[in-house]
Amino acid sequence: MSRPILYSTHISPPCRAVLLTAEAIGLKLEIREINLDAREQFNEPFKKINPQHTVPTLDDNGDIIWDSHAIICYLTGKYGKNDSLYPKDLKKRAIVDQRLHFDSGILFALLRGIAKPILRDGVTSVPEEKRKLVLEAYEFMNKFLNNKKWLAGESFTLADISCVSTLSSLD
């Protein structure tokens, strides 16, 4: 059985979340770097794998999955030694899922809205309105952490991996 292949780029927080998850579960991945600056994600061979042309994209022996949250849940379910990162208990899992949606719907959306004008359009500062939204998101995270060690409760989960990957670029 060959290693799962991860199409990735070093600059992407979602790609980092997949790499951190693989490390946490002891899974070795074959990494295939996709150069977004060279627009390699739009090359036909990659678009055949992922018509949405996004990274990260996972190829696990022909099973193709994209979106970091889908990938990390899949990898943890298939290769994880236990359910500590993604609990089977539905109430605990729902909280992890909520935090994952917070990451994609709030944190990463903010990061994208800030980074895209800087990287693509040469903007050199972050508008005050966007700064306020970031601070508001941080306030929500502080509420998630209220009297808890981790974002989704008392144990380290995929929610922590995913959110910290985004925060490391947002900060």
pLDDT tens digits, one per residue of 96-134: 999 999 999 999 999 999 998 988 888 889 999 999 999
CATH assignment, 5-79? 3.40.30.10
Which stretch of DSSP H or E encloses residue 17? helix 13-25
DSSP secondary structure string for all residues of 109-163: HHHHHHHHHHHHH---S--HHHHHHHHHHHHHHHHHHTT-SBTTBSS--HHHHHH
Closest by Cα among 102, 121, 123 to 167: 102
Contact criterion met (CB below 8 Å) for 146 and 9: no
71 or 118, greater pLDDT: 71
State the Cα–Cα distance between residues 26 and 81, nearest whole angstrom. 9
Helix (H, G, I), strand (E, B) or coil at 38: coil
Q: CB 125: neighbour CB atoms within 10 A?
A: 9
The verdict on pTM exceeding 0.85 is yes
List active site positions.
12
State the pLDDT confidence band at 93, using cuts at 50, 70 and 90. Answer: very high
CATH class of 90-170: mainly alpha
User: Where are the chain's structural domains?
Assistant: 5-79, 90-170
